Homo-oligomer: A and B are copies of this chain.
Amino acid sequence: MRIVVLGGAGFIGKKLVLKLLTKGQVSLNGHPMATIEKLVVFDKTKAQGLPNDARLETIDGDICDGDTIRELFREQTDVIFHLAAVVSGEAEKNFELGMQVNLQANLQLLEICRAMKHAPVLVFASSVAVYGGELTEIIHDHTAPSPQSSYGMQKALVDLLINDYSRRGFIEGRVLRLPTIAIRPGKPNAATSSFVSAIIREPLQGKRTNCPVSPEIKVWILSPEKVTDNFIHAAHIPAQAFKNNRVVNLPGLTVTVAEMVSKLQAIAGKDTTDLIDWEPDAFIQSIVLTWPPQFVTERALALGFQQDQSIEEIINSFINEELT
């Protein structure tokens, strides 16, 4: 089996790649387990820090470049994990870049898949940023996307495209709408949700950080551990289990920023949480306020997707995996 991970040099991509290498085999579309022979990591920069493994190949290139992507898929590919995107804040500030990477490159990728001899399994990272509007609203799988950011709009479009390309048999698509992933290691990035990880990660490493939103703001989160498990699970679920909808809102946890900080204080002490400044950023707050934090995800749970049990578990797992 040949696997391609698009955006595989990012944090989630790398975690997924390591998990796939450890497993050594995966099940696709309800079929029996098959051995991973090739695992190609594609990103705009070469993936760093991956193990020396004969199955692994790292390629850097521009996902918008048709020749590059056609070459990437010249060999038969069984499953594509697609995590490449321009993040939310960047897509809002640079409309043209967001449209190129988050929409046009995906239209091109889908056409390349349509031209393949065998319909590949395509697991796409979408986002709950497709929803927007009233903060009090509870989101179900049948709630209409109403994106209040260009990033959310672009994700909503690709969700619908993947559904139709799957309906027509061009691909075996699965779309996972990701909650905010917390806690990310590394540095703050241009995602509007970057602060959700930063307010835990930075103080735990003795660094000051700013929380740009009010403490009572609720967020909908999922840990890196569960999201990567859910990607592999998505590829495995048989097509018929999705009925006529390949899009799934992943299960998550609803927590306020205040609860996150209070649990951090219980775990790491007041000296740690004193490293958080509370200077509001109107731009970030205006976007975060359009992301509904309450979801009912019976469908995802019925399909066997996993959620975290508590914010303490998420913080402790971050400490164990990334800081020790």
Residues of A within 8 A of B (CB): 95, 132-133, 141-148, 150, 153, 156-157, 160-161, 163-164, 167-168, 244-245
Contacts A153-B164, A157-B160 known; list 9 others, CB within 8 Å: A133-B245, A142-B143, A143-B143, A144-B145, A147-B163, A147-B164, A153-B160, A156-B160, A157-B157
B164 lies within 8 A of A150 (CB): yes
| Copies of this chain in its oligomeric complex | 2
Closest chain B residue to A245, Cβ basis: B146
Q: Which of B133, B141, B145, B161 contacts A153 (CB 8 A)?
A: B161
CA distance A167 to B168 in the complex (A): 32
CA distance A144 to B153 in the complex (A): 14
A150 lies within 8 A of B132 (CB): no
Q: Which residues of B contact A153 (CB under 8 A)?
A: 160-161, 163-164
User: In angstroms, how far is the closest chain B Cβ from the Cβ of A182?
Assistant: 26
A150 lies within 8 A of B168 (CB): yes
Closest chain B residue to A133, Cβ basis: B244
CA distance A148 to B246 in the complex (A): 12
User: In angstroms, how far is the closest chain B Cβ from the Cβ of A105?
Assistant: 13
CA distance A145 to B133 in the complex (A): 17
CA distance A2 to B106 in the complex (A): 36
Q: Which residues of B contact A132 (CB under 8 A)?
A: 244
30 CB < 8 A contacts A-B: A95-B168, A132-B244, A133-B245, A141-B144, A142-B143, A142-B144, A142-B146, A143-B143, A143-B144, A144-B144, A144-B145, A145-B160, A146-B163, A146-B244, A146-B245, A147-B160, A147-B163, A147-B164, A148-B167, A148-B244, A150-B164, A150-B168, A153-B160, A153-B161, A153-B163, A153-B164, A156-B160, A157-B157, A157-B160, A157-B161
User: In angstroms, how far is the closest chain B Cβ from the Cβ of A184?
Assistant: 27
Q: Which residues of B contact A245 (CB under 8 A)?
A: 133, 146
